[in-house]
Structure 1
Amino acid sequence: MIVVTLGLGVIVAALAAAADPYRQTREFHEVVTCERRTHDCFVREPASVVGRRTYTTTHTDSEGHTTTTTHYEITWQRAEGARQAREVSWSLYEKAREGQPVTLRSWHEEVVGAEVAGRAQWFLPEVGGTLGNWLRLAFLGLGILLWGLLFGWWDGFFMLVWRTFAWMFMSIMPVNMATRALAYDLNTGWALVLDIVLCAFFVGVPAWMLFSSLDDW
């Protein structure tokens, strides 16, 4: 009963906290829609590329397989001299040479888009990231609730951490897609197909990890 109550409490608290970021994300979406119609709804600001670099990160899964990811980053300088580094896509990185002009698009003084040599990239605003964090917390609460309702037994701290990791990993792609869709709408065409395939993969693998840990029960 305590576990069920805890799960419900986490869900309610997380969804209540997500209400305001959700409203702000929808407000941002209205500006995005306006921008698509008139191309003058975001604040535009000139800047210039002052640096670019690549770096790699590695991740090792539970079976010992290591994957390496390459990240692309550019640094721009605004008119007043302030600099900001931002991870970008490979296609924008290839266009962004040092000294090249950048057109920034801002919303509430936050850079949400950058365009270099005709190549543009949009970024999820901070409120979208905040909304995603609260949705993940609500997903954690759902996991606690389901555990209390369906299982409720204890088989060690390690298994608790393992199952929590697998459960939370399942939420990464769906939450990312949901927050991105709220801000910019879903992708279309092959981009949407790719998103669905990636989502299915990144949900399916941790789901298998989670349910395989329940085989003996």
Structure 2
Amino acid sequence: MWLRRFSRLPSRVSWPGHSLGRWIVVALGLGVLVAGLVGAAGPYRQTREFRETVACDRSVGDCFGSEAGSIAARRTYTTTSTTTYTDANGQTHTNTTTTTHHEVTWQRANGSRQARDVSSSFYAKAKEGQPATLRLWRGEVVGVEVMGDAQWFLPESGATLNGWLYLAFFGLGVLLWGLLFGWWDGFFMLAFRTFAWMFMSFLPVGLVTDTLAYGLDMGTGLAVEIAFILFFAGIGASLLIGSLDRW
């Protein structure tokens, strides 16, 4: 089976149901979960306030601030990610994915610059030196408009909300581990299961935050996004379950 490949790993140490070690894990997981949810409360409220401005801008218009800016630079770059997993038959599979990113740097009226990844269609229209209209929310650039096209970004509160939700999800995993399993079989398996558990959360948390900020798009894009979420969450779940094949 899958874990037999790691013959050098220490044997499992079972914690009795009411042992001190198991309750420490449960308490730690609960504490991290609560801290994540409490920390997310403020960014959640701010993101909801941003959503109200988005709704106002869509129905009335001109609810965001505007500032004249320009496209200072643009570039493309690639990143490569490799995922390795072992199936139930003990065979190791490696998937390598190369992603092309399109980055645009804009300059504000005060001379400050900021770079963000954008869609390929927006990148094609955003030429270096071209004037741009910057859309502002509480002094923060949340949108850039050029040539009749616009690229919108999550406000800082949305990015902060993502971080707190990831922390809460991590705490939930620790809590469930202490309640349902509670045995120890080495640092390698701890790191591996943590990676698999958190891998399941990346896209769902992003979808939740985007929905809070901009609302739910019921078009075909949503169906594609859900399909991606199920696919990658399924990979994480299979890795996690595969590591528990002897429990």
Of the candidates 17, 30, 39, which is equivalent to residue 52 of structure 2?
A: 30
List per-residue Cα deviations over 1:134-176 (Å, max 9, x = no partner).
1111111110111011100011100000000000010101100
Q: CA deviation at 1:131?
A: 0.7
Q: Count residues with an aligned counterpart.
A: 217
Q: CA deviation at 1:65?
A: 2.4
Of the candidates 39, 42, 50, which is equivalent to residue 72 of structure 2?
A: 50
Of the candidates 167, 171, 177, which is equivalent to residue 207 of structure 2?
A: 177
Match of 2:239 in 1: 209
Amino acid at match of 1:169: F
Distance 2:40 2:109 in 1: 35
TM-score by length of 1: 0.97
2:120 aligned with 1:90, yes or no?
yes
Distance 1:183 1:38 in 2: 18
Amino acid at match of 2:63: C
Q: CA deviation at 1:80?
A: 2.6
Taking only the aligned residue pairs, the percentage that are identical comes to 64
Bigger CA drift: 77-86 or 53-62?
A: 77-86
Alignment of structure 1 residues 179-198 onto 2, 5 Å:
179-198=209-228
Unpaired stretches in structure 2, ≥5 consecutive residues? 1-22, 85-92
Match of 1:135 in 2: 165
Amino acid at match of 1:107: W
Distance 2:72 2:211 in 1: 32
List per-residue Cα deviations over 1:166-190 (Å, max 9, x = no partner).
0001010110000010000112210
Distance 1:127 1:80 in 2: 23
List per-residue Cα deviations over 1:50-101 (Å, max 9, x = no partner).
2110011111111332211111111112223222222111111011111222
Greater share of residues in helix: 1
Amino acid at match of 2:138: H
Bigger CA drift: 25-34 or 77-86?
A: 77-86
Unpaired stretches in structure 1, ≥5 consecutive residues? none
2:183 aligned with 1:153, yes or no?
yes
TM-score by length of 2: 0.85
Match of 2:81 in 1: 59
Higher Cα Rg: structure 1 or 2? 2
2:34 aligned with 1:12, yes or no?
yes
Q: Secondary structure at the match of 1:104?
A: strand
Distance 2:129 2:168 in 1: 45
Q: Secondary structure at the match of 1:13?
A: helix
List per-residue Cα deviations over 1:98-149 (Å, max 9, x = no partner).
1222111011111111111111111011101111111111111110111011
Cα root mean square deviation, aligned: 1.0
Match of 2:140 in 1: 110
